[in-house]
Chain A
Amino acid sequence: MSTTATTVSTQVEPIFNTKPRGLWGTALRRLFHRRSAIIGMIILGSLIFIAIFAPMLATHDPNQALIGLEDVKKREGPCIQLLGCAADQPQHFFGTDGNVRDLYSRVLYGARLSLMVGILSVGFAIVIGAFIGAVSAYAGGYTDNLLMGLMDIMLAFPSLILAIAIVTVLGPGLLNTLLAIGIVSIPVYARIMRSSVLAIKQQDYVLAGQSIGSSSNRILLQNILPNALTPLVVQGTLGIAVAILDAAALSFLGLGAQPPTPEWGSMIGQERNQVFTAPHLIIFPGIALILTVLGFNLLGDGLRDALDVRQRS
C-alpha cells in the first residue's frame, strides 16, 4: 500500500511551475510592468543624479551674484546660444533672478534640498509614528486610548496650518520646517502601523511563534515588523510628495528655507510679485517642484498596486 502511495505522489504534476518569489520580488516585477511607475522612477532617478552631481552640472555658483562679473541684468530671461541667443551674450539656461544669480544653477542645487527635506521629514515621521503605533497596538488599553487620542487631536488640524503653528513656535528655518512637517506627519504612520500590527497579531504565524517560545521582541521584530512595513513604505513614498509640497509652501510663505538658500519654494516666494514681468522665475523652479512631486506620486501609486496582496497572481 505504502509503495503505491509513494509512486502516485511522485507522479503528481507540480501545481506551480514557476519558482516562488517573495513579496518584494513579486512587487518589483509588477512595478516594472507599470508604465506610470517606470516614469516615476525615471524622474526620481534623474533628480537623484542631478542632486548628487549638481556641482558638475551647474554652470555658476548658485549663490554668486553676477553683477560686475558678467554683462547681465537682473531678472533677465533665458539665453541659450543653441536656441538663437547671441553668441556674445553670457549664456544662462533659465535666465537670472532678482539678485542676478544664475537660475539654472540654483534650480539644480534646489533638488538636493527638496529631496533631503522630503526624505528626512518622512523618515523621522515613520520612525516615531511606527513606534507609537506599534506600542499602541501591542499595549492596548489606556496606553492605546491615550496615544491614539493624541494622534486624533493632531489630525484635527489641517496639516499645513499645524506646520505653520509649529514653525511659529520653533522659529523659521529649513531645519525647523523639516521638524514641523515631520511632526505633522506622525499620526498618519502611527495609525497605519497600529492597524497593521493589530491585524498581524491575529495571524496564525504569530501564534506559532509564541507557541514555540519565541520572545516578544523576536516576534515583534521578525514576524510583525516586516509584514507591517508594506503599507508604511507605500504611504511613506506618497508622504514624501506631500512633505515636499508642504516644505515648499512654508518656504514660499517665508517660514522655511531662508535666502539665499536655493530652495524652490523660497525662490518662488521671493519673486512672486515679479510673475507678471519675469514669469521664468516662477516657471522653472515650479516645473522642478511639479516633476519631483509627480515622481514620488507615480512611484507611490505604483508601489501600492504592486504590493497589493489581493492583486498578486
Chain B
Amino acid sequence: MLAYILRRVVLAIPVLVGVLFLTFLLSRLIPGDPCRAMLGEKATPAVCDAFMERTGLNKPIPVQFAIYFGRVMSGDLGDSLRFGRPVTEMLMERLPVTIELAVLSLLVATTVGVILGVVAAYWQNSPIDAGTMVFANLGVSVPIFVLGLLAAYLFAVVLKDTPFSLPPSGRLQAGIIVKSIPEVWGMDDLGGPLRGLLDFLSQMYVINGILTLNWQVASDAGRHLILPVIVLATVPMSVIARMTRSSLLEVMNLDYMRTARAKGLNERRVVFGHAMRNALLPVVTIVGLSLGGLLSGAVLTETIFGLTGVGRTIFDAITSRDYAVIQGFTLIIAFTYVFINLLVDLSYAVLDPRIRLS
C-alpha cells in the first residue's frame, strides 16, 4: 500500500510542475508590456526599467521561470495590483469561504445523489425511477447561473413573507458581527501555525459560530448558504444519482446477489451490505471528479450570491485585470484539484485491493 501511495505521489509531481509552468506561461502570454499591464498609468520608462529589474522580467524565460518557481515555493504569490496586498493574504481570507461552500455542496450532492440513485435503481422502471431520472437529466442541463438567479427570485421575491423566504445574497444579515475564534477564546496573543489555522477557520462563519457557541452567527450564516449550496450541488447531485443508479443496476444482476438472496439474507443486507459496497466504487471517482466542476461552479455561484470566495475573486480580478491575483488563485485551484484527484486515487486503492496490487 505504501509503495502504491509513493508511486502516485511521485507521479503527481511532474503534473504540479507543469501546472506551475502553464500558469507562468499564461501570465507571460498576456498581450502587451507586462510593466504597463501591472502598473497601468504609473508606468514611465524609468519606473518600468526598475520594475523589469526587480521582477526579473528582463531575464531569459527559463531564468524567469526559475525565479517564479522559487517564489511560489517560498509561498510568495506576488501582490495584488488592485488591493496592494499579498495574494497569499487574500487567499487565506477567501479560500475558507469557497471551501465551506464546496464541502457543504459536495456533502449535500453525495447524500441526496446516492439516495436518489439507490431509490431509482431499486424500483427500476417505476414512476419513481422515471421521475428521478428526468430530474437528474434536467439537473445536468441547467446552467448554474440560470438556476442561481431563478432560485434567488423564487426564494427572495415569490416566497417573501413566507417561512420559506431565504436571503439571495451576502453571508450574514446586516448588523451581525463576527469575531475571530482566537479573539473569543481569549487567545489573542497566540501566534504560529495554530493561529493561522484558527484565523482560517474563523472565516467559515458556520464553523466559527459553532466553535464560538454563537448560534446567531451559525444559523444566519447557514441560512445564507442554503441557496448557494443547493445551486452548486445540483449538477454533481444529478451526476452522482445517475452513476449510483447505473452502477447499482449492473451489480444487482450479478450472480453473488442471487446467492445472497438465496441464502436468505434480508433485502436491506442484500442492497446495503452486498450491492452498495461494489456499486459505490465508480461513485467515489465521480464524487472526486465533481470537485473540479464545483470549483468552476463556484465562480458563478459566488458571483451571483455575492460571496467573496475564490471564484468571485478570480472574476473580479479578471474584470480589473489584476494579473497576480488571477495567476495565484488559478494556481491554488489547480493544486487543490491535483491533490484531490490524488486522494480519490488513493481512496480507490483502499476500497478495491485489485488496484493497489496491479
Contact = CB atoms under 8 A, between A and B. Distances in A.
Interface stretch (B12-20, B76-84, B118-126, B266-274): B12-20
Given A152-B15, A159-B292, A272 B149 contact: yes
B18 A275 contact: no
Contacts of A289: 143, 146
A153 B156 contact: no
A93 to B, nearest CB: 19
Nearest to B310: A161
Given A282-B153, A283-B150, A272 B296 contact: no
B186 to A, nearest CB: 40
A245 interface: yes
B326 A294 contact: no
Contacts of B295: 158, 161
Contacts of B31: 169, 171
Contacts of A283: 150
B145 interface: yes
B286 to A, nearest CB: 15
A42 interface: no
A161 B303 contact: no
Contacts of B324: none
B22 interface: yes
Nearest to B144: A249
Nearest to B321: A168
How extensive is the interface on chain B, given as a class? 35 or more
Contact of B141 (A161, A265, A293): A293
A253 B143 contact: no
B142 interface: yes
A169 B142 CA distance: 28
Contact of A276 (B26, B29, B137, B157): B157
Interface string B172-209: 00000000000000000000000000000000000000
A157 B333 contact: yes
Given A161-B295, A161-B314, A165-B26, A286 B141 contact: no
B26 A156 contact: no
Interface in B4-50: 14-16, 18-19, 21-23, 26, 29-31
A243 to B, nearest CB: 12
Contact of B143 (A165, A279, A290): A290
Contacts of B299: 160-161, 164, 249, 253
B17 to A, nearest CB: 9
B334 A279 contact: no
A272 B145 CA distance: 9
A150 B326 CA distance: 21
B346 interface: no
A78 interface: no
Given A158-B292, A165-B26, A252 B19 contact: no
Nearest to A288: B146
Contacts of A160: 296-297, 299-300
A223 interface: no
A279 B156 CA distance: 12
Contacts of B138: 290, 294
A298 B137 contact: yes
B315 interface: yes
Interface of A: 36, 149-150, 152-154, 156-161, 164-166, 168-169, 171, 241, 245, 248-249, 252-255, 265, 268-269, 272, 275-276, 279, 282-283, 286, 289-290, 293-294, 297-298, 301
18 contacts: A36-B137, A153-B18, A156-B15, A156-B18, A156-B341, A157-B22, A158-B334, A159-B292, A165-B23, A169-B31, A248-B143, A249-B144, A253-B315, A254-B319, A268-B146, A272-B149, A279-B153, A286-B150
Given A165-B23, A272-B145, 14 more contacts: A149-B15, A156-B338, A157-B19, A158-B293, A168-B30, A168-B326, A169-B29, A241-B141, A249-B296, A279-B153, A282-B149, A290-B143, A293-B140, A294-B141
